[in-house]
Amino acid sequence: MWEFKRTVEGQGAGGKPVSLNNKKCTDPSADMKHMSELLTKQGCKVSAVSSTDNTHSFTSSCQVQGVPMQSRSVMTVQSDSAYTVQVSSSGGGRSTKEMLTAKRVGDC
């Protein structure tokens, strides 16, 4: 069981950050692989993952409703039961920053 806290802020959202919290049974490694596969199926170009110590990052470039979008994702692993992901995206004159904090809270 993992607890996720997500905050998204950026242009186009009225300037106010949006926060979402939820808990679910999941495998974070499988989730990251699935997300990369979805991006590729949608025609996005996804870079190879670059890793240094406990930090893993990749970039993606996509067409979203005809608008070119770029994003950079950086995952920092604190332990086998906690990590953060920062995603910076831009395109079409808009930009967003997303922060996800994940913490394992128990067994499923």
The tens digit of pLDDT for each residue in 42-101 reads 889 999 989 999 999 999 999 888 899 999 999 999 999 999 999 999 998 889 999 999
pTM score of the predicted model: 0.84
Residue identified by tokens 């904090």 is: 101
Report angle CA 96, 81, 78 to the nearest 5 degrees. 60
- Interatomic CA distance for residues 39 and 36, integer angstroms: 5
Q: Residue 11's pLDDT is what? A: 64
